[in-house]
Amino acid sequence: MNGTVTVLDKGSVRIHSYMSPADTFHATTQLIETPARIIVIDAQLNPAYADEAAAYAEGLGKPLDRLIVTHAHPDHYNGAASFGVPVHVLPLVREQIAARPAAQLPNGLAVPANDLNPSVDITPGTEVIDGVPFVFEAVSGGEAADQLVVKLPEQGVLVAQDLVYHDVHLYLGNNDVTGWQQVVDALAAESGYDTILAGHGLPAGPEVYEEIRRYLADAHELLGDDGQAYKKAIVDRYPAHVGPFIIDIANRSLFPAGN
């Protein structure tokens, strides 16, 4: 297996976090194993890694129930077809995915246009799946224009996905550092969640919020009008973080003049 899997035992629920290699900046697919089924959250950028996550999920011996896509960035939906289950998504996020053109990433990976049809609309609120309450919350601003947060209150698990990165460089292409800081502050104020699932990197505890706050504050300080200068400065400040080419992807939006 090219990726790695971290397993967390939460009693009647087990969390399997499939993390891709560093060449796709540790994008993480969450496999929520309930007593009788598997709920998949986010689908990988590289279809080969989505295939790995799907094969691992099938090896658990329970049917895959659905794939939840949290937001309209291709590292979370490009591999959706690998799972062969209905895609559940916020209507606004589905519209944003359909509006994205095909792209070629700096690592050479082609990302075709995708409208995720057919799909099932997610309505914010609580849905009990296989006896387990799942709380769906829509969040605006931050890493993407709109995102879904999934909470499992009985297990103390908050699936933050790309509102939280763990030891991975942040994608700032949405150009909303202030909005991201506000969302992180709101998540950090939540009580009762001791496990935070990141969209990039390993599962963490609530201490990860302070790490994200610090990175966002540094990015706000270092961002200027030169993308390459910003990349060098932030990589120098966080030399152990993986995924520096995610900064190149973000810089296409932040510095469209060619930096």
At 3-60, the pLDDT tens digits run: 999 999 999 999 999 999 999 999 999 999 999 999 999 999 999 999 999 999 999 9
CA distance 205 to 8: 12
CA distance 147 to 145: 7
Q: How much is the pLDDT for 201? A: 97
Q: Which two tokens stand for residue 81?
A: 């077809």
Q: HSE-up of 124 (CA within 13 Å, CB side)?
A: 11
Alpha helices for the chain (secondary structure H) = 47-58, 91-99, 177-188, 208-222, 227-237, 245-254
How confident is the model over 236-257, as a mean pLDDT?
Answer: 92
How many beta carbons lie within 10 A of that of residue 249, not counting itself? 21
Residue 24 Cα distances to 54, 153, 212, angstroms: 17, 30, 20
* 213 within a domain of the structure (yes/no): yes
Taking alpha carbons only, the member of 67, 24, 31 closest to residue 49 is 24
Name every residue whose Cβ is closer than 8 Å to that of residue 146 and which is 6 or more positions away in sequence.
71, 72, 90, 92, 93, 96, 138, 139, 140
Domains in the chain, number: 1
How many beta carbons lie within 10 A of that of residue 155, not counting itself? 21
pLDDT at 105 over 80: no
pLDDT at 134 over 60: yes
CA distance 89 to 55: 22
Alpha helices for 32-135 (secondary structure H) = 47-58, 91-99
Q: How much is the pLDDT for 101? A: 87
pLDDT at 259 over 70: no
Cis peptide before 74 (omega within 30 of 0): no
At 188-219, the pLDDT tens digits run: 999 999 999 999 999 999 999 999 999 999 99
Q: Position of tokens 């300080």?
A: 221
Handedness of CA 79, 83, 84, 88 (dihedral sign): negative
> What's this model's pTM, rounded to 2 decimal places?
0.95
* 194 within a domain of the structure (yes/no): yes
Q: Among 16-30, 102-116, 245-259, which range has the highest average pLDDT?
A: 16-30
Q: Which two tokens stand for residue 116?
A: 């995720």
Q: Which two tokens stand for residue 97?
A: 């995915």
Name every residue whose Cβ is closer than 8 Å to that of residue 246 and which is 6 or more positions away in sequence.
25, 168, 169, 170, 171
* 174 within a domain of the structure (yes/no): yes
pLDDT at 186 over 60: yes
Q: How much is the pLDDT for 238? A: 98
pLDDT at 68 over 60: yes
Residue 17 Cα distances to 5, 27, 42, 106, 152, angstroms: 5, 10, 11, 26, 15
At 139-171, the pLDDT tens digits run: 999 999 999 999 999 999 999 999 999 999 999
CATH number, position 135: 3.60.15.10
User: Structural domain of residue 133, as residue ranges?
Assistant: 4-254
Q: Which two tokens stand for residue 251?
A: 């810089």
* 259 within a domain of the structure (yes/no): no
227-237 vs 208-222: helix crossing angle, rounded to 10: 140
Percent of the chain exceeding pLDDT 70 equals: 98
